[in-house]
């Protein structure tokens, strides 16, 4: 598959993830009387990955996440030469989705970007008031676990056709655990999209949501190879 088509797929897929996941948080989580709450937002993020994995997995691999691309590269599943273009496409898709979400959300009277547009944060910007250290730990550990699931579910020796389900459910579980801590990132692109529009504190704290997921993913890639994962790049 030509790189240009794979990058287009990554752009569209990441757009879907951020628009669907963050959109559920901004537009539906606390909607009067019928809000979907944390559980609904967690499910929405999982469904975005599950649906896009079936839609574009055969085109680009459906990474939708710079940390996933790094983890797959370290795990021997993805060529290093394609890493930067993939990351650029993913971040661009996330920013585009956040822009559309901002446009829609601002159509409601009383909308205020101070609400964060589903941005990730720690300290006073953590939904539960968790510290930087807590945010760093949970983002690293959960991204590590996410990549282990991805690497295992997409291994040629795993049951065929079920990887999107396992990966989507894993992302749902991750959100159920960590929304109160950081609003859940495990994805630098997902964090960057809303932060570009919120500016201020969201941009100043963005570094954590690049560093922790990428480190966790890289460790997972190395660990899975050590455990006996086959090299597929």
Secondary structure (DSSP) of 83-117: HHHHHHHHHHHHHHHHHHHHHHHTTSTT--GGG-T
Give the relative orientation of helices 83-105 and 3-23 as an angle to the nearest 10 degrees: 40
Instruction: Round to whole Å and give the CA distance between 6 and 185.
Output: 23
How many structural domains comprise the chain? 1
Asked, for residue 80, whether it belongs to a domain, the answer is: yes
Do residues 72 and 78 touch, judged by C-beta distance below 8 A?
yes
Residue 61 within a domain: yes
If one counts every other C-beta atom within 10 angstroms of the C-beta of residue 180, the result is: 15
pTM of the predicted protein model: 0.94
Whether residue 7 has pLDDT greater than 90: yes
Is the pLDDT confidence value at 124 over 80?
yes
Q: Tell me, what's the pLDDT at 188?
A: 98
pLDDT band at 110 (very low <50, low <70, confident <90, very high): confident
The 10 Å Cβ neighbour count of residue 145 is 17
What's the CATH number where 147 sits? 1.20.1080.10
CA dist., res. 95 & res. 90, Å (int): 9
Tell me, yes or no, whether 86 lies in a domain: yes
Cβ atoms within 10 Å, residue 213: 30
pLDDT band per the 50, 70, 90 thresholds, residue 230: low
Residues 111-120: b if buried by 16+ CB within 10 A, e if exposed: eebeebbbbb
CA distance 198 to 180: 19
Going by pLDDT thresholds of 50, 70 and 90, the confidence category of residue 30 is confident
DSSP category for residue 31: -
Residue 140 domain-assigned (yes or no) = yes
210: enclosing H helix or E strand: helix 208-227
232 lies in some domain:
no
- For the chain, give the mean pLDDT: 94
Question: Which residue range forms the structural domain that includes residue 165?
Answer: 3-227
Please indicate whether residue 144 or residue 28 has the higher confidence score (pLDDT).
144
Identify whether 126 is part of a domain: yes
């Amino acid at each position: 598959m030509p790189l240009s088509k794979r990058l287009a797929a990554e752009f569209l897929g990441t757009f879907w993830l951020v628009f669907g996941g963050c959109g559920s948080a901004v537009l539906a989580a606390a909607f009067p009387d019928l809000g979907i709450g944390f559980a609904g937002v967690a499910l929405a993020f999982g469904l975005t990955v599950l649906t896009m994995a079936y839609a574009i997995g055969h085109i680009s691999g459906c990474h939708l996440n710079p940390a996933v691309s790094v983890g797959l590269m370290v795990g021997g599943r993805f060529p290093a030469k394609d890493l930067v273009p993939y990351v650029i496409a993913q971040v661009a898709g996330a920013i585009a989705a956040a822009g559309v979400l901002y446009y829609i959300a601002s159509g409601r009277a009383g909308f205020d970007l101070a609400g964060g547009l589903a941005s990730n944060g720690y300290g006073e910007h953590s939904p539960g008031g968790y510290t930087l250290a807590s945010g760093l730990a949970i983002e690293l550990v959960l991204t590590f676990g996410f990549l282990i699931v991805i690497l295992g579910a997409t291994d040629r020796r795993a049951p065929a056709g079920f990887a999107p389900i396992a990966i989507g459910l894993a992302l749902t579980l991750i959100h159920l655990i960590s929304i109160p801590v950081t609003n859940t990132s495990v994805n630098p692109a997902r964090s960057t999209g809303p932060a570009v529009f919120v500016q201020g504190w969201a941009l100043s704290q963005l570094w954590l949501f690049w560093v922790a997921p990428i480190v966790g993913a890289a460790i997972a890639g190395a660990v899975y190879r050590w455990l006996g994962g086959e090299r597929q790049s």
